[in-house]
Amino acid sequence: MKKSIVLGITGSIAAYKAAELTSMLVKKGYEVYVIMTQAATKFVTPLTLQTLSQHPVYVEMFDSPQSWEIGHISLAQRADVVLVAPATANFIAKLAAGLADDLLSATLLATRAPVIIAPAMNVGMYENPIFQKSMQFLKEQGYFFVEPDEGRLACGTTGKGRLAELDKIVSALEEIFSAKHELSGKHVLVTAGPTREPIDPVRFLSNYSSGKMGYAIAQEARERGARVTLVSGPCHLEPPAGVDLIPVETAQEMFDAVIKHFDTADVVIKAAAVADFRPRQRAAEKIKKDEAVMTLELERTPDILQHLGDNKRDQVLVGFAAETENIVENARAKLKRKNLDLLVANDLTEEGAGFGVDTNVATLFFPDGTTVKLPKMTKRELARAIIDQVIKLLTTKKRMV
């Protein structure tokens, strides 16, 4: 049976792109039912969407007996996915407030199907804390967002706010259809990338972590239905669609962000390469090269994983270990000392393992003494193997519904 998509179109200049989106979805074999807000009809006509979708287009809540037959409740029930593209700031604020004063907002409030929202607006509106708060709230309720792209906007300014590329929106939709949603209703907190510990305004201590391992885990967890918070040190990767990214720089900032979300998390996976030491003093001005030799005094950064292990309730806690020697002994000791449910040890002496590369070579260590030695695989494959184990651990802890 064909999958049904209810496509909501709201009053943005990007509404014209919804015509192409409809056509792409129909060509891919989906049934597309379009609901437009009154404002959307000012930018593109219902007749265009009706022709492309090959179904009547709905605008008014009570416009005719024929459309009432499949009014907002049956459209809400019929949807396998509800997609709103473009979604204006006004529409998103209404949704966050639980308002249902037109057919589209009523459908969204009534549906139990996954909802994907692709915002489009002026950069000032997008960056406004009121809008950001509404979006954050909806993410926390399990709504998926395909974040807007950066570029030149219709209003003449440049910045973030342009409707995401249609291919990106279609991939987000297809990910939902293809995913096994074993982690639905769970909150997974992932850390990724390096931290930077400032020496002076232009220099820092850091490491070679690219963030690839942590981002792959965040993407896998999201595709399997979790709400994902990704706390990431500086790296050059696009955050996976639907993941809530919290960018940080230092170990202390990572500590603060992780602690903030720890209480609501069901799973924490710490793939970040956190600097173990930081300069005791950060020079206010650029340090001059007057001396032939200089000494930096370092102090320990907070051990985030140790803190989580000491304070965990019933969360599944997964740590990483980047080792170059005595892997088994070091991994077992770390697993115990940090009170972990799983430790992923990458063997940095193996070719294709660890920092920067697209692959990894890891052994999984469990508290009952069992180990699983995995062959060299892509970081995405390793992410899948780790999430498989996390699901088993959640089941053992009897916290899956």
Which residues are known catalytic residues? 155
Does residue 278 belong to the site contacting ligand PMT (CB under 6 A)? no
- Which one of the spans 113-121, 137-145, 273-281, 366-374 is the region binding ligand PMT (CB under 6 A)? 273-281
Does residue 273 belong to the site contacting ligand PMT (CB under 6 A)? yes
Among 94, 139, 270, 332, binds ligand PMT (CB under 6 A): 270
Closest CA to 91 of 72, 111, 112, 117: 117
DSSP, residue by residue, 94-114: HHHHT---SHHHHHHHH--S-
What's the min distance (Å) between Cβ of 313 and ligand PMT? Answer: 18
Among 213, 257, 327, 391, binds ligand PMT (CB under 6 A): 213
188: left (phi over 0), alpha (psi -120 to 50) or beta: beta
Closest CA to 354 of 141, 209, 180: 209
Among 18, 248, 274, 364, binds ligand PMT (CB under 6 A): 274
Tokens of 54: 């090959």
- Which one of the spans 93-101, 108-116, 211-219, 223-231 is the region binding ligand PMT (CB under 6 A)? 211-219
Among 272, 316, 317, 394, binds ligand PMT (CB under 6 A): 272
Q: Are 42 and 14 in contact (CB under 8 A)?
A: no
Instruction: Identify which of residues 53 and 209 has a Cβ nearer to ligand PMT in the complex.
Output: 209
Q: Are 183 and 224 in contact (CB under 8 A)?
A: yes
Does residue 210 belong to the site contacting ligand PMT (CB under 6 A)? yes
Does residue 219 belong to the site contacting ligand PMT (CB under 6 A)? no
What's the min distance (Å) between Cβ of 103 and ligand PMT? Answer: 46
What's the min distance (Å) between Cβ of 362 and ligand PMT? Answer: 8
Q: How far is 232 from 384, CA to CA, in rounded Å?
A: 20
Does residue 276 belong to the site contacting ligand PMT (CB under 6 A)? yes
Instruction: Identify which of residues 21 and 316 has a Cβ nearer to ligand PMT in the complex.
Output: 316
Does residue 224 belong to the site contacting ligand PMT (CB under 6 A)? no
Q: Are 95 and 138 in contact (CB under 8 A)?
A: yes
Q: Are 126 and 119 in contact (CB under 8 A)?
A: yes
Name the β-bridge partners of 6: 33, 82
Question: Other CB atoms closer than 10 Å to residue 14's CB: what's the count?
Answer: 27
Tokens 């009547």 identify what position?
Answer: 56
Instruction: Identify which of residues 59 and 317 has a Cβ nearer to ligand PMT in the complex.
Output: 317
Instruction: Identify which of residues 324 and 395 has a Cβ nearer to ligand PMT in the complex.
Output: 324
What's the min distance (Å) between Cβ of 324 and ligand PMT? Answer: 10
Among 26, 322, 393, 400, binds ligand PMT (CB under 6 A): 322
Q: Are 355 and 192 in contact (CB under 8 A)?
A: no
At 378, give phi and psi (nearest 5°). -70, 160
- Count of residues touching ligand PMT (by CB under 6 A): 26
Closest CA to 129 of 100, 93, 103, 172: 93
Instruction: Identify which of residues 210 and 389 has a Cβ nearer to ligand PMT in the complex.
Output: 210
Among 16, 137, 355, 366, binds ligand PMT (CB under 6 A): 355
Which of the 8 DSSP states describes residue 40? Answer: G
Instruction: Identify which of residues 18 and 275 has a Cβ nearer to ligand PMT in the complex.
Output: 275
Sign of CA dihedral 63, 67, 69, 73: negative
Q: Which of residues 235-254 bind ligand PMT (CB under 6 A)?
A: 251
- Which one of the spans 11-19, 116-124, 136-144, 271-279 is the region binding ligand PMT (CB under 6 A)? 271-279
What's the min distance (Å) between Cβ of 101 and ligand PMT? Answer: 47
Does residue 301 belong to the site contacting ligand PMT (CB under 6 A)? yes
Instruction: Identify which of residues 179 and 237 has a Cβ nearer to ligand PMT in the complex.
Output: 237
Q: How far is 69 from 75, CA to CA, in rounded Å?
A: 10
The continuous run of DSSP H or E covering 133 comes out as: helix 129-140
DSSP, residue by residue, 36-68: E-TGGGGTS-HHHHHHHHTS--B--TTS-HHHH
Name the β-bridge partners of 364: 344, 372
Q: How far is 124 from 126, CA to CA, in rounded Å?
A: 5
Tokens of 244: 């809530």
Instruction: Identify which of residues 36 and 216 has a Cβ nearer to ligand PMT in the complex.
Output: 216
Does residue 321 belong to the site contacting ligand PMT (CB under 6 A)? yes
Among 92, 172, 226, 305, binds ligand PMT (CB under 6 A): 305
Q: Where on the chain is the footprint of ligand PMT (CB under 6 A)?
A: 193, 209-213, 251, 270-274, 276, 301, 303-305, 319-322, 346, 354-356, 379
